[in-house]
Amino acid sequence: MAKLEIKIYPDPALRKKARQAGKVGNDERKLAYDMIETMRSSNGVGLAAPQVGISKRIIVVEDMVGNNKIALTLINPKITQKKGKVKFCEGCLSLPGVSSDVIRPEFITVEALNLDGDMFKINAEGLLARIIQHETDHLDGILFVDKIGFLKRKKIIKQFGAKVCMEF
């Protein structure tokens, strides 16, 4: 496994819609394992392939089962149901040092392929639902700052200094 370089905003890779992953094979498995190592070594709870410069619809997320952390890989994830609304503070490995409250559905159903290429479904709520939604947004070139008010977004973007191109 290898630690990958996380792209930092405003890297153009973060704004591109990722391509569907094809047949799940060794390349996808290696990428997923490398993404998990990168996520964990960066103290993250989720990571999307575009965040490491790879245009594939692959995300990894950290979940708690009892007292144990487990990493889930979702390939070509599709959120099929959303219910409720809840506000919670989010951050992002691609926007280091910033966070903001974001309103998202509280409950979701997501379908994806696993590392064996088999379809599975997850009913998620709370933090896991939020992480999956946040990472799935990355696959469509959407950042959490796109989901907050203009003035707050502008203030956050300013924290990145002169290298940031204002997109408003």
pLDDT of residue 161: 57
User: Distance from CA of residue 7 to its chain's centroid?
Assistant: 12
User: Distance from CA of residue 94 to its chain's centroid?
Assistant: 10
Task: Give me the mean pLDDT over the 114-140 stretch.
Answer: 98
Rounded Cα–Cα distance for residues 96 and 78 (Å): 27
Is residue 24 situated within a structural domain? yes
Total number of domains constituting the chain: 1
Average pLDDT over all residues of the chain: 92
80 pLDDT more than 70:
yes
109 pLDDT more than 60:
yes
166 pLDDT more than 70:
no
Is residue 114 situated within a structural domain? yes
Is residue 108 situated within a structural domain? yes
158 pLDDT more than 90:
no
CATH number for the domain that contains residue 81: 3.90.45.10
Per the residue annotation, which of 28, 62, 90, 135 is the catalytic one? 135
Beta bridge partners of 73: 60
With residues binned 3-state (H G I as helix, E B as strand, rest as coil), the percentages for the chain, rounded to 5, are: 30, 35, 35
Instruction: For residue range 11-65, list pLDDT tens digits in order.
Output: 999 999 999 999 999 999 999 999 999 999 999 999 999 999 999 999 999 998 8
Is residue 38 situated within a structural domain? yes
This prediction's pTM: 0.92
For 65, the domain range is: 12-159
Rounded Cα–Cα distance for residues 70 and 31 (Å): 17
Please indicate whether residue 125 is annotated as part of the active site. no
Is residue 3 situated within a structural domain? no
